[in-house]
Structure 1
């Protein structure tokens, strides 16, 4: 059955791939981005795939912007079946070096952005007694990694939000919640990290420098381990999750991400056992 889908962060990468694949599957797609003037990559991909979709302005850091986008979809379609919280931002720097403004920005985009958008769709999904919120998380939401403590902290928060809402909203109102946990999206990792570090003050000449250089220089070796997937591969997992009548609370997107997180997820890979246990402890 065709669904009405709202996706955030669709100007690049996974957002573009997910929006296009959803449209190819016959769904009505509202692809959103902070600056619609940056829709070139999305338009080109949609044209190449022979699909159409609607682009809306939505800044996950602006509650009014989120509300406008959600209200527009509801006015035009009467419902939102799936919210895909994809908008996010990476950050590589030790907590000791990080500026507080940068920490606030990462938390605001990666966690508060998810919370704002989810809060906005909840009244409509609750009224319909149906819906699915898919949060693009990361293996960094399960396993802390070097120089990623600020980013991982935000993604851990997304995981907690997903689990907590699923523990009582799913059984009460039929709204599902899923955290999708990729390893990495294929890119020039080292160049991306260097660019981001440069934008936030550059490499500092301190005791962290040799460790950071080791982390960055090892990116080539990590590519050979299967850590990186294409945006299309991750988007295909999102589509699979969206199609399930009983979707998981969490899912990884590759063999590498399964292996990397196995010490955390081995006893309950999809999170459904934990969901049942929490409901039994607190709601029975």
Structure 2
């Protein structure tokens, strides 16, 4: 009975907090044109902290739940991009197996890594993406075309691994990577929507398995995927994403890039500071 009352007392305010995470992530995803995972993970991490979830579990739960929430939104995104012919099937045939390999590597690494390491990976990569958004001119590319296929295989594997460790879909890393190779941005975004599903589905399953026997998890958790978080965030993010998209048309794109960069910079500093405090404790 005490356990039941604890679950109810925990879940009601927790569900409200999770719904707010979905509202924020959905709005920013629509506003900034990024995958929700890059927003869900840090915000959910701090919600879990507010509810005194063990610091050793926060990063794993945030990443696993974020990957799960990407699955339904990926299906919607793929359908929309395929209808516009923006999915590069030929590229996917080569990249998909290596992205999947990267996901497998990421799941294995996450299973043996402490939460502080996952937090550090997110913080470092988020800082690099922030610098890219703030300092790189829009449309800039480093090379004239995609490299040879062996190098593409390495790129795809790295994207799968890092994205799985961070709990993000394909867009955050795939789009800038392809864009720097002078690849059309719209096709990069469309193709990244499929890569996001390749990452999210097996990645979420892997985090369920990794956390199956973990203790101290919040109520309604399947391993490191919190069921309440999945439902609340997925539903509210899909509701608020269109509002963010409409707002985006009223703001200069340059300011959107700067806004996203500043958000990521602040997020990365906060998460890296948490890692520092954990390591010196």
**Structure holding more strand per residue:** 1
Quick check: which one's helix share is greater?
A: 2
TM-score range, shorter chain: under 0.3
TM-score, reference length from structure 1: 0.26
Greater relative CO (CA pairs within 8 A, separation 6+): 2
Name the TM-score, length of structure 2 as normaliser: 0.26
